[in-house]
Amino acid sequence: MKPRLILVLGDQLSTDISSLRMADKERDVVIMAEVMTEATYVPHHPKKIALVLAAMRRFAMALREDGWTVAYSRLDDEANTGSIPGELVRRASEFAVEEVIATTPGEWRLIAALNDLPLVMRQLPDDRFVTSPKDFADWAKGRKHLRMEWFYRDVRRKTGLLMDGNAPAGGKWNYDNQNRKPAPEDARPPKPPGFPPDAVVAEVLDLVKDRFAGNFGQLHPFEFATDREQALEVLDHFISHTLPSFGDYQDAMVMGDPWLWHAVISPYLNLGLLLPMEVCLRAEAAWRAGKAPLNAAEGFIRQIIGWREYVRGIYFFEGPDYTSRNMLDHSRPLPAFFWGGETHMHCVDEVVGQTREHGYAHHIQRLMVIGNFALLAGLDPGEVHEWYLSVYVDAFEWVEAPNTIGMSQYADDGLVASKPYVSSGNYISKMSDYCTGCQYDVRTKTGARACPFNLLYWHFIERHRDRFLNNPRMAVIYRSWDKRDVGQRKKIVDDATDWLARLDTGEIV
């Protein structure tokens, strides 16, 4: 029988991937390729490029050790065509094959590219997830609102995670109201394990430094896990050391401490080095053994089988045009400080600086600092989407786009979020120490020292009055706003308008 090409992409690094399960180790050829089209479709953070390439090389080595034939294209190979389709055509000619078996990619553009190949192509479902796109479509059929909470409850029932028979453990589905505490001043958890580069990683770092030196982000130090064993070590650390307090402090933000009580395993889940159910079962086991409280285990599991599964469902359910949505007609370009330029807003500067250094920020930093500012200021959601996709090491379009276009920027007209996730500076002040030493004063509502989040919050509320006045979750905000003195409201809106004008002219704000 003729050999077949078995495609394994850089975010499919699992030996249990459907394409490998379909393959015959004795006759088929595994194809893996580092290509410029994937490295440059957005200006990825250097750490993200290095992480993917290093993990790919380690995975290919493990496959060869297990007896697979692997045709691996390095980024700097002279014969490299620069694209996944090009490498498949080249390898098909080299090995005289006509059929390619692939696990369906996680991005529409790659799905389309594979479907256009002049080869026999079989795209198999990516069943590393708890639910499939079909499962989500079946769940969504006939529903007026596609809310994550209801989806999450159904997945809990399906998996049995944190269930006591047919009822949720503890009698409640959601313990989010217990998970909003600022970090205590006298407690800091140990940082996640780091892994000094060995020869394989060092070679990749040299390549990335040579090819992508101009990209936003610091390449060194590089300490991410690059294989399954290391990823499991990170998971073990989280379960043992930080899961017990994760629930309480998952929304907290602290200057100079990017990790806090977070697991920092999203890159490894999204690459395939860890699987969602094994991670959730570890958290559940810790709770059942009395080693973590229920609010911590539930909050963590909800992020994985709730949000992670839900946003993937939204991405495939809504189709390839989802990333172009802009229901609020926002069009302001990204300010220079998104790429490291100067700003007087200490919270934004802190999160962008952390992102530049680590390629990482946790969900509240992304949503309630960067995303909140972008939405309040009316930034173009397409540009915001590409920024998030570029700068975070765990960002792949299926997971990033619904979180940005939907949850963060409300550009999908409320498909994901029941209201815009906007807040004044008070929320940031409550959940962080970012306001300390800021040039602006979070307690000041108008004037030159007023926190821009305070001004822009009410500017957003006023300019979108017609759209949100009748939103049940926004009505109380409008009632509060409308009770204010007319002159005071005008002053706030005028100050916000002036601040945005200075932003538009490139002034440091």
Sequence-ordered list of residues with C-beta below 8 angstroms from that of 421, at least 6 positions apart, any chain: 367, 368, 371, 372, 375, 407, 408, 410
Q: What is the pLDDT of residues 443-482, one digit of tens each?
A: 999 999 999 999 999 999 999 999 999 999 999 999 999 9
Q: At 25, list the tokens.
A: 């180790």
| pLDDT classification of 166: cutoffs 50, 70, 90 | very high
Instruction: Kindly state the percentage of the chain with pLDDT values over 90.
Output: 97
Q: What is the 3-state secondary structure (H, E, C) of 89-147?
A: HHHHHHHCCCEEEEECCCCHHHHHHHHCCCCEEEEECCCCCCCCHHHHHHHHCCCCCCC
Q: What is the CATH number of domain 133-193+225-318?
A: 1.25.40.80
Q: What is the pLDDT of residues 478-509, one digit of tens each?
A: 999 999 999 999 999 999 999 999 999 999 99
Instruction: Kindly state the percentage of the chain with pLDDT values over 70.
Output: 100
What average pLDDT does the chain have?
Answer: 96
How far is 389 from 396, CA to CA, in rounded Å?
7
Question: Residues 323-333: what's their mean pLDDT?
Answer: 98
| pLDDT classification of 2: cutoffs 50, 70, 90 | confident
User: In this predicted structure, what is the pLDDT of residue 179?
Assistant: 84
Question: Residues 329-354: what's their mean pLDDT?
Answer: 98
User: In this predicted structure, what is the pLDDT of residue 188?
Assistant: 81
* DSSP letter for each residue of 305-354: IIIIHHHHHHHHHH-GGGGG--TT---BPPPGGGGT---S-HHHHHHHHH
Q: What is the pLDDT of residues 386-414, one digit of tens each?
A: 999 999 999 999 999 999 999 999 999 99
Q: What is the pLDDT of residues 92-104, one digit of tens each?
A: 999 999 899 999 9
User: In this predicted structure, what is the pLDDT of residue 113?
Assistant: 95
Question: Residues 283-297: what's their mean pLDDT?
Answer: 97
Query: What is the architecture, at CATH level 2, of domain 336-504?
Result: Orthogonal Bundle (1.10)
Domain ranges of the chain: 5-124, 133-193+225-318, 336-504
User: In this predicted structure, what is the pLDDT of residue 79?
Assistant: 96
Please check the confidence at residue 1 and state whether its pLDDT lies above 90.
Answer: no
User: In this predicted structure, what is the pLDDT of residue 186?
Assistant: 80
> Of the CATH numbers 1.20.1080.10, 3.40.50.620, 3.30.479.30, 3.30.2320.80, which one belongs to the domain with range 5-124?
3.40.50.620
User: In this predicted structure, what is the pLDDT of residue 281?
Assistant: 98
Q: What is the pLDDT of residues 424-433, one digit of tens each?
A: 999 999 999 9
